[in-house]
Chain A
Amino acid sequence: RKEVEQDPGPFNVPEGATVAFNCTYSNSASQSFFWYRQDCRKEPKLLMSVYSSGNEDGRFTAQLNRASQYISLLIRDSKLSDSATYLCVVNTGSSASKIIFGSGTRLSIRP
């Protein structure tokens, strides 16, 4: 079983739609969680951290369910510029250590 698993997509949704991505992780001792965004042929960049209580940043909402070892990302009112690959990221240690990326979920927003 992979340490971090994501639905690879692709998700193809119209502009303005709401879309949700899911991610599961295998190591119950994992301490911190993130969503990164990667544009085609570019390096990954941090989108947002994921906190236990859930957190929101504009149109983006992240949720964490430790009991189910599950992370989600919700994008509301999607824009053309949201088209990218979204990477679920988990720090499997208690300190800055092994940071594992999921395989990514591709999102394409159509006009």
Chain B
Amino acid sequence: GAGVSQTPSNKVTEKGKYVELRCDPISGHTALYWYRQSLGQGPEFLIYFQGTGAADDSGLPNDRFFAVRPEGSVSTLKIQRTERGDSAVYLCASSARTSGNTGELFFGEGSRLTVL
């Protein structure tokens, strides 16, 4: 389909392991966002890309979290030394707007991460 695609849809890992979550945005969308959502909470901002560069990474909780978007399309969120508190749904969204009003965010279905 033409929507935002996230893989894997579910990931179960052990504490201390490394995890990569992938996001394939809508073709042509220059803005890409990562959020994480815990049960009963709203999406928590992690990082925003405009093109290849991280325009705002102020939401990344600590240095175990890192995200890249090397060619301005697909993005990977990387989590090192996972902890049980990292368990959440990680949502990716893309948008066509680059300035002014942000326009609509289109979300993927999310990657559910469970750290045992």
Q: Which residues of A pack against B, CB within 8 Å?
A: 4, 6, 8, 31-32, 36, 42-46, 49, 87, 91, 93, 95-104
Residue contact B98 to A87, C-beta cutoff 8 Å = no
Q: Is A45 in contact with B58, judged by CB distance below 8 angstroms?
A: no
Q: How far is the CA of A98 from the CA of B109 in the complex (A)?
A: 21
Instruction: Classify the secondary structure of B's interface with A.
Output: loop
> Is B41 close to A, CB under 8 A?
yes
> Do B33 and A99 have beta carbons less than 8 Å apart?
yes
Within 8 A of A (CB), among B15-51: 31, 33, 35, 40-45, 48, 50
Q: Are A99 and B105 in contact (CB under 8 A)?
A: yes
List chain B residues, Cβ under 8 A from A6: 42
Q: List 25 A-B contacts (CB under 8 A).
A: A6-B42, A36-B105, A43-B91, A43-B108, A44-B91, A44-B105, A44-B107, A46-B104, A91-B101, A95-B99, A96-B48, A96-B50, A96-B95, A96-B103, A97-B48, A97-B55, A98-B48, A98-B59, A99-B45, A99-B105, A101-B42, A101-B45, A102-B42, A103-B42, A104-B41
The listed residue (B31, B43, B56) touching A101 by CB distance below 8 A is: B43
Cβ–Cβ < 8 Å partners of B108 in chain A: 43
Roughly how many angstroms separate A99 CA and B42 CA in the complex, as a whole number? Answer: 12
Beyond A101-B42, A101-B44, A103-B40, 9 additional pairs, beta carbon < 8 A: A6-B42, A36-B105, A42-B109, A43-B108, A44-B107, A46-B105, A96-B97, A96-B103, A101-B43
